[in-house]
Amino acid sequence: MQSDREICWGGRDFKFISDAQRDWLRACASRGFTVPTWPQAYGGAGLDAQQAKVLEQEMAAIDARPPLVSFGVSMLGPALLHFGTDEQKASYLPPIARGEIRWCQGYSEPNSGSDLASLATRAESDGDHYVINGQKIWTSYADHADWIFALVRTDTNTKHGGISFVLIDMDDPGITTKPITLISGKSPFCEVFFDNVRVPKANCVAGENQGWTVAKALLAHERQSIGSASLMVSTDDRPLRERVVELVGLDEGRLAEPMLRASVAQWEVDKAAFDALVEQAQLEYRSGGGSPTTASLLKYYGAELNKRKFELLMTAAGNDGVEWRDVDGGSTDLPRSWLRTKANSIEGGTSEIQLNILAKHTLRLPGA
């Protein structure tokens, strides 16, 4: 996996680490390859699901890095394509495709995590603007974002029906961002405070009090992304078996520890099955089909697989696995990555929430 610095996030103030990184983004954006399935009118390549899969495979064959990693691409863009007005699509989608605007997501609040619909950030009507007051938390990369797509309460008389989905410029007066540090020693998360922030009502997506419908669709994109990406939290992207062999060694061509050998083999079988499921889900999504609960399945199982992976690595490393710094005083990746995996079962909706969704809507269990 690439480090945060090597990933091209885009944005108004993004600093490219090389001319090659900048040129790769521009070349791909000019062909619509940053968002290949989007319509050409909005910066995409207009490819269908099968064509997009071929493009992905060809990129992988030449070991090409993703030209752009963006919440605008993975979450906001699909929501705007479905719910946005023609004006909103024309205004926001092409800059997303070109990597010119970096977005963050304003959903969770200090007292509204799993029960997201209880959010309290208020948007009061004032002519053709909303005046927004409140706080968001666990907002990934808010300190680097140009804009935020946020859920706000526009009606206090109903819970789910009183929420609106608005787009807010992070440079607007009254917005304050504070980073949050996790036990791993680093974090992409932030708190975001809104103090009488004025936002045009034209930035409301799908209409006032229709935000919960948009939120549910966007959460499905987020959970599928987390599920498929949660297996990449370390800067060391070598196969699991290779990393374990380096830590434990071989005995007659096999892992020296038989119990560990069996566990690694089982993990790799489960990972192969998960990869096949992710590919199937992506093809179904690009074709406009699939079950709405697939995202919960991928999110849950991807998180569990990743936790198992780093438990195995920590077991293989033994006492060395808990070393916070190396002999030269530099930080070590393994314990920090292991700690980071614990967040996989919380972010994007807890594992308990995903299991409840599957129990109710897929298994149809009584009382769920």
- Active-site annotation, residues: 222
Supply φ then ψ for residue 239, to 5 degrees.
-60, 150
The 8-class DSSP code of residue 100 comes to -
**Residue 171: how many other CB atoms lie within 10 Å:** 9
DSSP, residue by residue, 134-203: EEE-S-TTGGG-SEEEEEEES-SS-SGGGEEEEEEETTSTTEEEEE---TTS--S-EEEEEEEEEEEGGG
**Residue 83: how many other CB atoms lie within 10 Å:** 19
Query: Would you call 342 exposed, middle or buried from its count of C-beta atoms within 10 A (0-12, 13-18, 19+)?
Result: middle
**CA separation for the pair 351, 33 (Å, rounded):** 33
Select from 223, 361, 216 the least CA-distant residue to 300.
223
Q: How many CA atoms lie within 13 A of 158 on its CB side?
A: 11
The 8-class DSSP code of residue 71 comes to H
Supply φ then ψ for residue 164, to 5 degrees.
-125, 155
Select from 345, 333, 336 the least CA-distant residue to 307.
345
CB of 168 within 8 A of CB of 197? yes
Q: How many CA atoms lie within 13 A of 112 on its CB side?
A: 19
CB of 13 within 8 A of CB of 147? no
Supply φ then ψ for residue 110, to 5 degrees.
-55, -35
Select from 169, 172, 161, 256 the least CA-distant residue to 208.
161
